[in-house]
Amino acid sequence: MNSYLIKRVMVLFPVLIGMTLIVFSIIHAIPGDPAETILGQKATEQSKQALRNQLGLDKPWLQQYFNYMGDLVQGDLGTSIRTKTPIAKEIVPYLAATLELTAASMLFATFVGVNAGILSAWRQNSWFDYTAMIIALIGVSMPIFWLGLMEQLLFALKLHWLPSIGRMDQRNPVETITNLYLLDTILAGRWDQLWTVIKHLILPSIALGTIPMAIIARMTRSSMLEVMNSDYIRTAKAKGMSQFFVVYKHALKNALIPVLTVIGLQTGALLGGAVLTETIFAWPGVGRYIFEAISSRDYPVIQTGILIIAFIFVVINLLVDLLYAAIDPRINYK
C-alpha cells in the first residue's frame, strides 16, 4: 500500500510537468499581445514595448518556458501582469471561494443524485423512476447560465427568498479569517451570519450542482440495478431482511464504488470550470480569475492558475483511488 502511494505520487510530477508544457505552448500559440490588451488603447507604444521587454516576450518561447519553470522550482509562482501582484498571494481567496462553492454543489449533487438513483433502481420502471430519469436528462443538458438567471428571477426577484449575487450580505459583512465564509462565521460564533452565508450559497450551488447531480443519479441507478441482481442480494432477500436494509446496507456499499469515481471527477471539474456560474452569481472564484486572465493574456496567471487546478485535480483522483481500497477489499494495491 505504501509503495503504491509513493509510486502514485512520483507519477504526479511528470504529469504536472507535461501539463505546464502543454499549457505554455497553447498560450503562446494564441494570437494576441498582453501588452496591447492589458495596457489598452490609452498607453503609448513605448510603454507597451517596455512591458514586452520586461516580460521577455521577445525571447524564444522555449527560453521563456525554462525561465518560468526555473522560477517555479524556486517556489516563485509568478506575478500577475494586470494587477502586478504575486499570484501566490492573489489566488488564495479565489481558491477559497471556489472550494466553498464546489463543496456546497457537490453536497447537493451527491445527496440528491445518490438518493434519486437508489430510489429509481429500487422502484425500477415506476413513475418515480421515469420522472427522475427525465429530470436527470434535462439536468444534464441544461445551460447553466439560463438556469442561473431563471433561479435569480424566481427565488430572488419574484419570491424574495434568497439573495441573487455574491457570497455575503455587504450591509452586514463577515469578518474574514480563512476566506471560507462558512468556517469564518462559525469561528466568530455569528450564527445569524452563518445563515446569511448559507443563503448566498444555495442558488449558485444548485446551478453548479445540477449537471453532476444528474450524472450521479444515472450512475447510481445503473450501478444499483447491477448489484441488486447479484447473488448475495438475492440471498439477503431470501433470508427475509427488510427491503430498506438490503438496499441501503448491502447493495449501496458495492454500488457506490463506480459512483465515487464520478463524484471525484465531477469535483475536479467543478474546481476549475465554474466560470459561468461564477459570472452569473458574481462569485469571486478561481474559474473567473483564470478566464479573465485568458481574456487579457495575463500569461503568468493562466499558467500558474491552470497548474494549481491540475494539481488539485490529480490529488483528488489519487484520493478516490485510495478510497476504493478502503471500501472494496477485493481491490488490492500491491
Partner 1 sequence: MKKWGNLALVLMLGAGLALSGCGGGNNTGNTGNTGNTGGNTAATNAPASSPETSGTAQDTLILGRGGDSASLDPAIVTDGESLKIAHQVFDSLLEYKPGTSEVQASLADSWEVTPDGLSYTFKLHPGVKFHDGTDFNAEAVVFNFQRWSDPASEYKFEGDSFDYYDSMFGPDGSRVIKEVKAVDESTVQFVLNQPQAPFLQNIAMTTFGIASPAAVKEKKENFKNEPVGTGPFVFKEWKRNDSITLDKNIAYWKEGLPKLNKVIVRSIPDNSARFTALQNGEIDLMEDLSPDDLSALENSSALTKIERPPFNVAYLGFNFKKKPFDNVKVRQALSHAVNKQEIIDAFFAGQAQAAVNPMPPSLWGYNDSVKDYEYDLDKAKALLAEAGYPDGLPDPVTLYAMPVSRPYMPDGKKVAEAIQAEWEKIGVKTVIESPEWATYLDDTKAGEKDDIFMLGWTGDNGDPDNFLYTLLDKDAIPGNNRAFYVNEELHTLLTGAQKETDQGKRTELYKQAQEIIKADAPWIPLVHTTPLLAGKANLKGFVPGPTGTEYYSEIYFE
Backbone phi, psi, residue 132, to 5°? -60, -40
HEC secondary structure over 183-212 = HHHHHHCCHHHHHHHHHHHHHHHHHHHHHH
Residue 318: which residues within 8 A CB-CB, separation 6 or more?
8, 9, 12
Residue 318 CB, shortest distance to partner 1, in Å, is 30
Near partner 1 by CB under 8 A: residue from 2, 10, 14, 41: 41
Cβ-based nearer residue to partner 1, 6 or 153: 153
DSSP annotation of 176: P
Contact between 113 and 211 (Cβ < 8 Å)? no
Nearer to partner 1, 222 or 317 (CB): 222
Quick one: cell of 60?
A: 524564444
Restricting to residues 282-301, name those near partner 1 by CB under 8 A.
Answer: 282, 284, 288-289, 292, 295-297
Total residues at interface with partner 1 (CB under 8 A): 85
Interatomic CA distance for residues 184 and 192, integer angstroms: 12
Instruction: Name residues whose C-beta falls within 8 Å of residue 198's C-beta, 6 or more positions apart in sequence.
Output: 182
Shortest distance (Å) from residue 214 CB to partner 1: 10
Among residues 17 and 30, whose Cβ is nearest to partner 1?
30
Q: Please list every residue from 234 through 253 that binds partner 1, using CB under 8 A.
A: 244, 248
* Residue with smaller CB distance to partner 1, 70 or 175: 175
Binding to partner 1, residues 112-151 (CB under 8 A): 112, 115-116, 118-119, 128, 131-132, 135, 138-139, 142, 145-151
Q: Does 56 bind partner 1 (CB under 8 A)?
A: no
Is 222 a residue that touches partner 1 (CB under 8 A)?
A: no
Q: With respect to partner 1, which residue has the nearer C-beta, 165 or 327?
A: 165
Q: How far is the CB of 284 from partner 1 (least distance, A)?
A: 4
Please state, in angstroms and rounded to a whole number, the distance separating the CA atoms of residues 224 and 119. Answer: 10
Q: Which residues contact 113 (CB under 8 A, 6 or more apart)?
A: 212, 213, 214, 215, 216, 217, 219, 220
Single out the residue of 46, 74, 229, 332 in contact with partner 1 (rule: CB under 8 A). Answer: 46
